Amino acid sequence: MKLIVEIREKDIGPSREQLPDEAHINYRESAKVVLFDQDDNIALVYYPPIEGFFGGYYLPGGGLEEGETILETLHREALEETGCKIKEIGEIGFVIEYMKDKLLKQKVFAFTARVDGEKGEQQLTKSEQKRGLEIVWKPLGEAIKLVEANQYVDFAKFRAIMILGLIKKI
């Protein structure tokens, strides 16, 4: 899988302090999916704004759990966040992120996939339920506009814009 981009604090906001790459002592891997339904709409996870959080639209996916492969993570997260089983998985690439506040280096693997069968019920964690996480299905152009309109510029927004931009070129 090829590197899409490396994202650092200065990429998110020019005034944000950047630590040296080697200062990021914590490491995490995660998987994100550009998931298409039968009408070629894309799944976006919507977090409504609540106290202390801006909210916004993001790609479904999440972190690798102990003992999982990245593809197992992809399947699990797609089912949890969208309620869908997936098929026709394709590799997009990966993103490396250096997050100062968590001293975290994160490697995010990005994939395309199609819904396998019918859309089901989300299987959200208690935290996701409390946050009011919802799934929406939008055409690619509209999905890009929704992500770009997120008020808060963070790693997830920057990453999603880069990944969806690659899909738009295909």
Question: Which phi and psi (to 5°) does residue 48 adopt?
Answer: -65, 150
Pairing of β 86-99 and β 26-36: unpaired
pTM above 0.85, yes or no: yes
| Alpha-carbon radius of gyration of the chain | 15
Q: For domain 3-169, which CATH number applies: 3.90.79.10, 2.60.40.1180, 3.40.50.720, 3.40.190.10? A: 3.90.79.10
76-111: pLDDT as tens digits: 999 999 999 999 999 999 999 999 988 999 999 999
pLDDT tens figures, 18-60: 888 888 889 999 999 999 999 999 999 998 887 767 789 999 9
Among the listed residues 2, 5, 1, 3, the one whose alpha carbon sits nearest the alpha carbon of residue 162: 5
Structural domain boundaries in the chain: 3-169
Helix (H) or strand (E) holding 135, with range, is strand 134-138
Task: Classify the phi-psi angles of 125: left when phi > 0, otherwise alpha if psi is within -120 to 50, otherwise beta.
Answer: beta
